[in-house]
Amino acid sequence: MTTTVTLTGTGVPHPDAARAGAGVLISCDDIHLQVDAGRSTTMRLAQAGVGPHELAALLITHLHSDHVTDVADLVLTRWVQDHLHRTGPLPVVAPDGRAPAFVANLLDAFAYDVEVRVRHVQEGPPEVAGHWFATPDVPKEVWRSSCGRVVAEAVRVRHEPVEDAVAYRVTTPDGVVVVSGDTRVCDEVADLARGADVVVHEACRASALADAVRGTRFETIFSYHADTVALGEMAQRIGIPHLVLTHLIPAPRTPEQEAEYEEDLRRGGYRGRVTVGRDLAVVTVGGPA
């Protein structure tokens, strides 16, 4: 078996042709888990050679728009193609609370399209198989593949004022992958990530840009994202062997700017392997970047 991690989107709410909205694909042979589905996720999956019909589940970390704008596209595309693949509704795993209502209302804007397609082509309306869980304060299993080879756990993270934000820990026969979602550096993610082989973590150059953003709205935004220096300290303290940075604030435009992210981690004391994320970058669990 081989487990791979593909960054389907490394961007933020501001559009960037090189960086789709937040998303991470974890694949173990024929089991594909998509974590979050920001802008253009469906297209990035196509570039990665994975269709919506091949997803075992979509795991949602939280309901910020840049993490969920492409959920509708995944659901509708899977539905339109169901006559070819017969894979049925998309399983969506997310914290209980506001997620069920979000999913229930997801396709309201497409009511006419659904009506026309059902009348002429489709056998029935699109459906989502919701798997909701109470947001746990300690890691808890929230999903398991039918074969039992792949397990996902979740824990609450610190992304206030957003409610019910979580990180995921995915265990496969090859190793462990943790995806932080959006959060400041916190003990909850540290505990979840202990013993992981690869940690995909959001990254914000808050320390480096503190003077530039002081007194602006960005100072508030930075307060609930993960400072790269603090992230480096945490990653070294708990022994993360490979740290993959995504949701990059600000988006690096040059190799020199990418290097600044790694320099921040080193300033925090981190000595492990670093991948500064680009869309469609692939990491093999237990193997080279």
Catalytic residues: 66
- Rounded Cα distance, 174 and 38, in Å: 27
- Rounded Cα distance, 19 and 40, in Å: 9
- Rounded Cα distance, 93 and 114, in Å: 24
Q: Which residues pair with 140 in a beta bridge?
A: 154
242 by DSSP, 3-state: which? strand
94 by DSSP, 3-state: which? strand
The gap between the terminal CA atoms of the chain, to the nearest Å, is 17
In 3D space, the residue among 31, 45, 98, 28 whose CA is nearest the CA of residue 279 turns out to be: 45
User: Contact at 8 Å (CB) between 130 and 92?
Assistant: yes
User: Contact at 8 Å (CB) between 67 and 37?
Assistant: yes
* Residue 221: its H or E element: helix 217-223
- Rounded Cα distance, 79 and 87, in Å: 9
Looking at residue 86, what DSSP letter applies? -
User: Contact at 8 Å (CB) between 86 and 122?
Assistant: no
Identity of residue 75: V
Give me the DSSP letters along 151-214: EEEEEE---TTSSS-EEEEEEETTEEEEE--S--S-HHHHHHHTT-SEEEEEEE-TTTTHHHHT
